[in-house]
Structure 1
Amino acid sequence: MRTPVKLTAYALGLVLVFGAAAGAGRVLGPDNEPAPPPAHTDAHSDAQSDGHTDGHAGETAPAAGHLPGGLQVTQDGYRLTPVTTRLSTGAAQPFQFRVIGPDGKPVIAYTPNHEKDLHLIVVRRDLSGFQHVHPTLGADGTWSIPLAVDDPGQYRVFADFQPTGHDPLTLGVDVPAAGDYQPLPLPAPAIVAEAGDYLVTIGGDLAAGTSSQLTFTVAKDGQTVTDLEPYLGAFGHLVALRDGDLAYLHVHPIDAKSLAFAAEVPSSGVYRLYLDFKHDGKVHTAEFTVATLGVEAPKPTEQPGHDADGHTHN
C-alpha cells in the first residue's frame, strides 16, 4: 500500500505544478513581441508585371498597384490574351486576341474612347516600327486585324480600352516576329522630325511627375499647315513610351483643335513620342526622342537611314 500512496502523491504534485504554471502564464500573458502586421492588399494587387525592368539607374520603381499603363498583361481581373502568337514580316496576316474579363469570359461590351472601342499599339522593343491601328470585334469577343511588321524582333502589343462599367485600362504583352533581330539605336533628341513630306517641330520641356505642356507645329513645303483634319475626334494624338520598359502613356490635346498636349510622364528618363496627325486624307506619324529635365539621352554612334513615315493606321 505504501507504493501506491507515494505514486498518488507524486501525481497530485505534478497537477499542482502544471496548474501553477498555467496560472502564471495567464497572469504574465503570452510573448510580448508583437505579431507582424498583415500584408497590405491593394486594389490592383492582381496586376502582374511582364518581367521587364527599366534599366535607367537612379529611377525608383512605382509601388505595386500604381504601375504605368502597358506594363501589365492583367489588371483588375482583365487579361490580354493573344490568339495569334507570332507577327508576320511579309504579307499582312490576321492578328487576333481577346480581352478576358473577371468572369473568365471574353469581354464584348466596351465604352468608346476617341471614337473607338479599342486602340491597338504595336512597337518593337527598340521603339521602332510603331503602329497605331484599330481592330474589329467579333461576336465571340475576338478582336482581329490584318497586321504585318517590317522587321523581325520582339514586339510589344498594347490594348488601350475601357470595359463598360470600368475605368480605362492599358494592357500589354510581347509577341515575336521570327527572324534575325537587329536592334536599332535610339535616335538622338531633336526638335524637328520628318513625317513623309512634312516637318514637325516640338516645343516645351518634359518634366517627371508633373504636367508638361508640349506643342507641335506641322509644316509642308516651307509653310505651316493650318488645315489639319480631325482624326479620332481631335487634330492630333500623342503616345509616349519610356525607353527601357515601354511604360505607356496615351495623351490627347488640351484643345481638340490644337496640337498642344498636357503630358505627365511617370518618372524621369528618356521617352519616345509618337504624334499622329491627319492631312490630305492620310494619317502621318512624327517621332521624337525626349529626355526629362535633368536626364541626358543616349547619343547613338550610328543612325541608320529609315523611312520616317513607314507606319500603319487603320
Structure 2
Amino acid sequence: MSQRFRTSRRALMAAAATAALTLALAACGTGTGSGSGSDKHAGHGSTPSSSAPGHDMASMPGMEPASSGNGLAAAKDGYRMTSTAATLPAGEASTYRFTITGPDGKPVTGFAVDQTKRMHFYAVRSDLTGLQHLHPTMAGNGTWSAPLAALRPGTWRLYTSFTPDSGSGKGKGLVLSRTVTVPGMAMTTALPKASGTTTADGYTVAVKGDLMAGMAHQLTATVTKDGKPVTDLQPYLDTYAHLTAFHQGDLAFAHLHPESKADGGHGGPALTFHAEFAQSGNWRLFLQFQTGGTLHTAALTLHVG
C-alpha cells in the first residue's frame, strides 16, 4: 500500500470521527435545552386551577424556590415562613396558621412594632383580586393565626411583613410568602387598565407620580368626595393611609411608606408616599384609609416605566 493511499485513508477516517462527534454533541445540547428556563409559580399571572397535573415541585403551593426580594420567597436571610396548610376552604371563613423560624431553626417570638403592629399579613388571589390585610395573633410557641374571610377558588399568595426584634435580623424589615390553593371552579378576573383615578364607597382617589422601575419617587394620592376635598381622614396604623402594591404576573410585593404620621382626625386631602418599584409593568395598588370609624379600600392599576 503506497504512502499516499495510507495518508488519504487516515484523513477520511478522521473526518468521519469529527462528524460523528459533532452530531453527538448537538443531540446532547438539544436534550439539555428542553429542560432549561425559569420555573413558573402556580397562579402567577395565569388562570388558577384546582386540578393541574404534571406540575413539578416549584409549581406546587407553598413550594417556591428560595429566591430573594419582592416578598416572593418563603425564606430569606435565615428566616423562614413555615406552614402545614397547602389548601384552604372556599366560600367560608378560615384560619391560616404559620410560624416564622430564625437562622437557628427555632420559632421567632420577638418582633418589633411597625405601624402599630408586630405582624402584617396580606392575602391576594393570583389575578390580584380579593385583597385582605390582617394583623394575626401569636401564641406563646410562636405560631401565628390569621383569620381570613371567605376566599374564592383559585391560587392565593399569603405574605407576612415583620421586623425581628433580636438575633441577626434585628431591625431589618422582611417580607416572606407562601401560596395556598382554594379548591373549586376558578374564574379569572381581568386586571383593570392602568388609570390614575378610582372610586371606593363614594370617595374618589387620584394618584400622581412619575414612576420608574428601580428609582425612588414621590407618589401623591388625593381623596375627594362629591367633588370636594376630604379633610377628615382618621389615623389608621399610625398614618392617614396605608398603601401596598402587587406586580402583575409574578405578584411581587411593594409597601409604599407614608411620609408623615397621622396627627388627629383631620387628614387629607393629599397624602404623600415614598414609592419605589423594583420592576416595570403594571402594579395593582390598594390604598386603605379611614373616615367615621369605617375603613375604605381603593384599588387601581398603575403602570411603572
Query: Fold conserved (TM > 0.5)?
Result: yes
TM-score of the pair, normalised by structure 1:
0.70
Q: Structure 1 stretches of 5 or more lacking a match?
A: 1-48, 56-63, 294-314
| CA shift in 2, pair 1:223/1:230, >3 Å | same
Q: Structure 2: how far apart are the matches of 1:66 and 1:207?
A: 23
Q: Which amino acid aligns with 1:269?
A: G
Q: Does 1:264 align with 2:239?
A: no
Identity of aligned residues (%): 42
* Alignment of 1:135 onto 2:147: no
Partner-residue secondary structure (3-state), 2:157: strand
* Distance (Å, rounded) in 2 between the aligned partners of 1:66 and 1:51: 13
Counterpart mapping for 1:213-232 below 5 A: 213-232=218-237
**1:69 corresponds to which residue?**
70
Confirm or deny: 8 A CA contact 1:95 1:147 kept in the other structure: yes
Structure 1 residue 286, shift from structure 2 partner: 0.8
Mapped partners of 1:51, 1:159: distance in 2: 21
5 Å-filtered alignment, 1:1-314, equals 52=41, 67-165=68-166, 166=169, 167-257=172-262, 259-293=271-305
Q: 1: distance between equivalents of 2:141 and 2:277? A: 36
With structure 2 as the length reference, what TM-score do the two structures score? 0.72
CA distance in 1, matches of 2:181, 2:277: 27
- For residue 116 of structure 1, give the secondary structure of its aligned residue in structure 2: coil
CA-to-partner distance for each residue in 1:184-236, whole Å, 9 max, x for gaps?
Answer: 11111122212122111111222111112111111223322101001010011
Q: CA 1:72 to 1:51, structure 2 compared with 1: closer, same or farther past 3 Å?
A: farther
| Moved beyond 3 Å, runs of 4+ | 49-55, 64-67
Aligned-partner Cα distance in 1 for 2:229–2:39: 42
Q: Which secondary structure does the structure 2 equivalent of 1:259 belong to?
A: strand
**Closer, same or farther: CA 81–66 of 1 in aligned 2, 3 Å:** closer
Give 1:50 shift.
Answer: 8.4
Contact 2:93 2:151 in 1 (8 A): no
Answer yes or no: is the 8 Å Cα contact 2:66–2:73 preserved in 1.
no
Letter in 2 for 1:69: N
What amino acid does structure 2 have at the position aligned with 1:231?
A: Y
Is the 1:80–1:99 Cα contact (8 Å) retained in structure 2? yes
1:237 & 1:52 partners in 2: Cα distance?
A: 28
3-state SS of paired residue (1:251): strand
Residue 66 of structure 1: how far off its partner (Å)? 8.6
Please provide the CA RMSD for this pair: 2.2
Rounded to whole Å, the distance in 2 between the matches of 1:72 and 1:149 is 25
* Structure 1 residue 52: Cα displacement: 3.3
Alpha-carbon shift at residue 126 of structure 1 (Å):
0.8
Q: What per-residue deviation string (whole Å, max 9, x for no partner) do you get for residues 6-62 of structure 1?
A: xxxxxxxxxxxxxxxxxxxxxxxxxxxxxxxxxxxxxxxxxxx9853988xxxxxxx
The code of the aligned residue for 1:263 comes to A
- Closer/same/farther in 2, CA of residues 87 and 197 from structure 1, 3 Å limit: farther
Higher gyration radius (CA) = 1
Q: Give the counterpart letter for 1:97 in structure 2.
A: F
| Residue identity opposite 1:52 in structure 2 | H
Unaligned runs of 5+ in 2: 1-37, 46-64, 263-269
